Amino acid sequence: MGDDGTGATSLQIIPRLVDNAGNPVSFTGAGLETTLEVFSNGVKISTSKNLMQDNNFKGFNLRYSSIPAAKVVDNKIDITVSVKTTAKTFKMSKIGLDVNPSALKVPEPPKVDSTAVIQDPSAIDPNNPGATPGTITDPATGATTPAAPKQPAADPKTTVNKFLSNVSSQNLKAAFDASNNPSWGSYETFSNPNSGFGSVKNVSVKNITTNASNTNNASVNATYDVTDKNGRTTSLKATFGLKNVNGEWKISSYKINP
């Protein structure tokens, strides 16, 4: 755990697979999907995912600064780690872990731009005061139509391709900015060199295809090889879910397929 002088700032969670006698199981190149879930008072706070390729897995570094203070009850959290194999999913939980309240995330006060013009979605259209808020009125005909969401210009698979390219080059800020995926947590969790995308040395893309796409959502399949900084390579097939955020595709979900 880190310490900034006011107490612990993070928690290292390292799961291990053992046999019935409690001895570590030796394996390599498995690519087992490993999930860390954090709760407080029964409410899920965050979820992080990584690949366990062998039993030297570095685990997860849970930074307290990524946990909102408002969601932690009595300065205690519960954690559950699950490891998914082809046969079954193994789970272990630790309940009532103490956290350092001074290291938790406290939101900054909002910054107000005095020059900004605030647009009220419930404002009345001067061309048609009786129209439903959120609609557009044609002054020539008086007809009203709902305001359509902005259509993304790019192909959703272009967003996924750029994301994987940025991960490969370790331009992790650009990769994180292309996502809107709660399960990846904060940028610190996303880019962690042990348990996040910061552990990646190279990504070699084999194939990317768009499964489905409409104005608001899209699904993209990708096949690629991931090499970590220890030189181990794992072949993956993943499905990326994307959503339209102000006219840009953002990765909103990620699933590793068998």
Report all structural domains of the chain as residue ranges with CATH numbers, in order of start. 10-103 (2.60.40), 156-257 (3.10.450.100)
Instruction: Indicate if the pLDDT at residue 135 is higher than 60.
Output: no
Listed in sequence order, the residues at least 6 apart from 18 whose beta carbon sits closer than 8 Å to its beta carbon are 24, 25
pLDDT tens digits for 171-218?
A: 999 999 999 998 899 999 999 988 889 999 999 999 999 988 888 899
DSSP 150-199: PPPSS-HHHHHHHHHHHHHTT-HHHHHHTB--GGG-SHHHHT-TTTSGGG
Query: Which pLDDT does position 148 carry in this prediction?
Result: 58
Q: What is the mean pLDDT of residues 54-62?
A: 87
Mean of the per-residue pLDDT values for the chain? 83
pLDDT tens digits for 40-53?
A: 988 999 999 998 88
Query: Which pLDDT does position 47 carry in this prediction?
Result: 92
Largest interatomic CA distance in the chain: 81
Asked if 54 contacts 15 with a C-beta cutoff of 8 angstroms, the reply is no
Measured CA to CA, the distance from residue 255 to residue 35 in angstroms comes to 12
pLDDT tens digits for 148-181?
A: 567 776 789 999 999 999 999 999 999 999 999 9
Q: How far is CA 143 from CA 138, 140, 166, in A?
A: 5, 8, 46
Query: Which pLDDT does position 131 carry in this prediction?
Result: 52
- pTM score > 0.75 for this model? no
Measured CA to CA, the distance from residue 145 to residue 134 in angstroms comes to 9
